Chain A
Amino acid sequence: MDLKELYRDVILDHNRHPRNFGTLDSAAPGGELRRAEGHNPLCGDRLTVSVLLDGDRVRDIRFEGSGCAISTASASLMTEAVKGRDRAAVRALFDRVHTLLTHHDATPDPALGKLAALSGVSEFPARVKCATLSWHTLNAALERGAATVSTE
């Protein structure tokens, strides 16, 4: 177990300075605001994802809440990665992230970009739920509009 594999500089940076942190208050004309809450009762992580949809496309996204470094950095990286993508592309990206997090020695898919920094999580099975919380929450916002999801 190599801690440096888990806590890479990219992860520590996004934990300390999360991108797109906050909330989206009102929809721009033509946009549809969606919001969902995610909760991991085991460790108390809790976050809210707000998405502004332009038709099928994520025009803007924010997250807020409190969590461990893995869940915060994963949420931050996710917001950067999904902006501008349509729902199908977001879903495909989540699949890739999930494979990365759960498969030992998976070679990061080049399509993952910066998200590849999460590859160390696969060595720490207890932390997979931290990394997927934001993605499940985004999914809930995209699929059902508003909901609370739990990773337990």
Chain B
Amino acid sequence: MAASVTPLAPARGYDAARVRRDFPILATSVNGHPLVYLDSAASSQRPLAVLRAVDDYERHSHANVHRGVHALSQAATSAYEGARERVRRFLNARATREIVFVRGTTEAINLVAQAYARPRLRPGDEILITALEHHANIVPWQMVCEQTGCSLKVAPIDRRGELICEELEKLLSPRTRLVAVAHVSNALGTVLPVKRIVEAAHARGAVVLIDGAQAVPHSRVDVTALGADFYAFSGHKVYGPTGIGVLYGREELLAAMPPWQGGGEMILTVSFEKSTYNDLPWKFEAGTPNISGAIGLGAALDYLEGLGIEAVAAHEAQLLALTTAELARIPGITLVGTAPHKAAVVSFTLAGVHAHDLGTILDAEGVAVRTGHHCAMPVMTFFGIPATARASFGCYNTEDDVARLIAAVGKAREVFG
């Protein structure tokens, strides 16, 4: 089975074998086999550059930020704020005031739900999402609906897992106050036409939040060119640490929002009668932040830019095409999510073998994939399946990884005869 994988011409100038050497964990053996890591959409691995940046900070520069005149506090503050500037450049935001550090995409969306939507929305108002959202871009809005009496509308997808954009546009109405959409579907890999969605929403006066967790590792994101009002992503899906993420928000929107958590850092003055709040972005960063996480994220973005996002994306697109073609040749395989424009994700089922069993067999062969509903239960319901197996790619995957996946799927067919 492995021999049937036809190598494609490598992406020009991209040396995945060299990239792999930057990721020490990829030398791990799993169940007696060299690890094949195909679960980057759940969490990517970290290159040495990130591990070293975090280690260096912990060894030489750690102190609390924005709080001391002593040397370490200043070093930590400068590294933390340097990471914010790094993120600003990465997203092409206008100002670091628009870059809020959060725990991850989930927290970013909850922040917007509670500090933007909740105080503004009224019964009769509508929030519009799509049928392929991750639970993190569904549940926070359902909570706002319960809190305010507004309602949630869902734009449908077709059998290929593609958003039916015309239907989304039909659902946009003067009642639509906020549109929240994924940039790339985590379960299906579909890339959404976010620019078109932003323009359509703005034409009707709605604000747009884009869940960029699955897009940022695979494409250049320019929030200014996109015209996004809010854009959220997680560090750990873009080769950075866990527990750090980013909410980009247009300055005028962030400035008009009340803080969502109170505490240190987010205040200017506190008395028992009244406190005044800090400037952007610190107004939204109550408590000591994840300093080492932010520094690690900055290093991860440096690393990714060093490889070249376009080069990484081209390499991943080749792996995606190869995997799709090889899987499609296996009897019993059904690809779930076949939109023409996809990024780095292949979801599939194998007839007669439940995804959970498939995951166990692949793991026994050293191949790590995600199995289950991928925190997108409505997507599974739409396709009438309980779960899929999902292989997802990062900058370090190779054609050999694809061959090992295909061979392991063959093994599953053999076990289940």
Q: Which residues of A contact B (CB under 8 A)?
A: 1, 3-4, 6-7, 12, 16, 42-46, 66-70, 124, 126-127, 130
Residues of B within 8 A of A66 (CB): 386
Quick check: which of B81-89, B178-186, B274-282, B352-360 contacts chain A, the rest being far away? B352-360
The answer to whether B354 touches A67, judged by C-beta atoms less than 8 angstroms apart, is yes
5 A-B pairs closest in CB distance: A44-B386, A68-B354, A68-B356, A43-B356, A69-B357
Q: Which residues of A contact B31 (CB under 8 A)?
A: 1
C-alpha gap A43/B352 in the complex (Å): 16
Query: Is A44 a contact partner of B372 (Cβ separation < 8 A)?
Result: yes
Q: How far is the CA of A97 from the CA of B123 in the complex (A)?
A: 53
B360 contacts which of A4, A42, A127 (Cβ < 8 Å)?
Answer: A127
Query: Is B72 located at the chain interface by the 8 A CB criterion?
Result: no
Complex: A46 Cα to B352 Cα, angstroms: 17
Cα A137 to Cα B354 with chains together (Å):
20
Residues in B with CB closer than 8 Å to A3 are 360-361, 364, 411, 415
Q: Give 17 CB contacts A-B under 8 Å.
A: A3-B364, A3-B411, A6-B360, A7-B357, A7-B415, A12-B415, A16-B352, A42-B372, A43-B386, A43-B387, A44-B380, A44-B387, A67-B354, A67-B386, A68-B354, A68-B355, A127-B360
**A104 CB to nearest chain B CB (Å):** 16
Complex interface bits, B370-384 against A, C-beta within 8 A gives 1, otherwise 0: 011100000010000
Would A43 and B416 count as touching, CB distance under 8 A?
no
Cβ contacts under 8 Å, A12 to chain B: 415-417
Enumerate chain A residues within 8 angstroms of B357, measured Cβ to Cβ: 7, 68-70
Interchain nearest-CB distance for B48 vs A (Å): 30
Which residues on B sit within 8 Å (CB–CB) of A44? 372-373, 380, 386-387
Which residue of chain A has the shortest Cβ distance to B31 in the bound complex?
A1
Helix, strand, loop or mixed for chain B's interface? Answer: mixed
Contacts of A130 in B (CB 8 A): 356
How many whole Å from A132's CB to the nearest CB in chain B?
14
Q: CA–CA, A42 to B359, complex, Å?
A: 13
Contacts of A70 in B (CB 8 A): 356-357
- B-chain residues with CB within 8 Å of residue A67 when the two chains form the complex: 354, 386
Check B354 against A69 for contact (C-beta < 8 Å): yes
Q: Given A43-B371, A126-B360, list of 13 further CB < 8 A pairs?
A: A3-B361, A4-B415, A6-B360, A12-B416, A16-B352, A44-B372, A45-B386, A46-B386, A68-B355, A68-B356, A69-B416, A70-B357, A124-B360
8 Å CB contact of B372 from A1, A4, A43: A43
Complex: how many Å from CA A67 to CA B387?
Answer: 10
Tell me the smallest distance from the CB of A80 to a CB of chain B, in Å.
Answer: 21
A69 to B371, CA, bound (A): 14
Nearest Cβ on chain A to B67's Cβ, whole angstroms: 41
Q: Which of chain A's residues have a CB closer than 8 A to the CB of B417?
A: 12
A7 near B373 with CB under 8 A, answer no
Q: With A7-B416, A66-B386, A69-B416 in contact, is A43–B355 under 8 Å at CB?
A: yes
A43 CA / B373 CA spacing, docked (Å): 7
A120, chain B: closest CB distance, angstroms = 11
Least CB distance from B416 to A in Å reads 7
Of chain B, the residue at the smallest CB distance from A127 is B360
User: How far, in whole Å, are A6 and B357 apart by their CA atoms in the complex?
Assistant: 10
A residues less than 8 Å from B355 (CB atoms): 43, 68
Shortest C-beta distance, A101 to chain B (Å), equals 15
A68 contacts across to B, CB distance below 8 A: 354-357
Q: Shortest CB–CB separation between residue A90 and chain B, in angstroms?
A: 26
Interface residues of B in 20-63 (CB under 8 A from A): 31-32
Q: Nearest chain B CB to A133's CB is how many angstroms away?
A: 11
Most-contacted residue by chain A among B354, B373, B415 (CB, 10 A): B354
Nearest chain A residue, comparing its CB with the CB of B412? A3
* Least Cβ–Cβ distance between B368 and chain A, in angstroms: 12
Contacts of B387 in A (CB 8 A): 43-44
- A7 vs B415: C-alpha distance in the bound complex, in angstroms? 7
B358 — nearest CB in chain A belongs to which residue? A68
Q: Which of A7, A66, A68 has the most CB of B within 10 A?
A: A68
Closest to A124 in B: B360
Nearest-neighbour CB distance to chain A for B140, whole angstroms, equals 19
For A16, the closest partner residue in chain B by CB is B352
- Most chain-B CB neighbours within 10 Å: which of A1, A3, A16? A3
CB interface residues, B 372-412, toward A, < 8 Å: 372-373, 380, 386-387, 411
- Complex CA gap A68/B356 in Å reads 6
CB distance from A6 to the nearest CB of B (A): 7
A70 to B353 Cα, complex, angstroms: 11
Give B373's nearest chain A residue, CB to CB: A44
